[in-house]
Amino acid sequence: MAGGVNKVILIGNLGQDPEVRVTGGGTAVANMRIACNDRFKNKSGEWEDRTEWVTVVAFGKTAENCREFLQKGRQIYVEGRLQTRSWEDKEGNKRYTTEVVANQVLFLGGKGGGGATAGGSDEPPPISDDDIPF
């Protein structure tokens, strides 16, 4: 297999409303933090829950739909790829962040809920964005 695979699939709940901004070129960019929970048995045989916070970035129409239809606590399905960026902070230190660049975001259960939303709702159909600018 040439090149490798960079694919991420997550289901989690939004920790806050999506933060959406528009680039100088007019492309919407949504930044979201989602909590993904994992349940496992510890060394004592007791169940433990662990939450992993993941930063997700969506572009274009996907970002616009996230702004319009998502709010804190909402469960979402995200499919995308990992990307690491670097920048310099105010003190000149090099900083890094790893995030998921979404190419598909599906809106699942209502705020804090699980499962797919029942038919007949005002929900938009599943969305994807083939216009990611890189």
Q: What is the separation of C-alpha 105 from the centre of its chain, rounded to a whole number of angstroms? A: 7
pTM: 0.73
Q: Alpha-carbon Rg of the chain, whole angstroms? A: 17
* Distance of alpha carbon 106 from alpha carbon 98, whole angstroms: 21
**pLDDT tens column, 50-107:** 999 999 999 999 999 999 999 999 999 999 999 999 989 999 999 999 999 999 999 9
* Distance of alpha carbon 134 from alpha carbon 31, whole angstroms: 17
Domains of the chain: 8-128 (2.40.50.140)
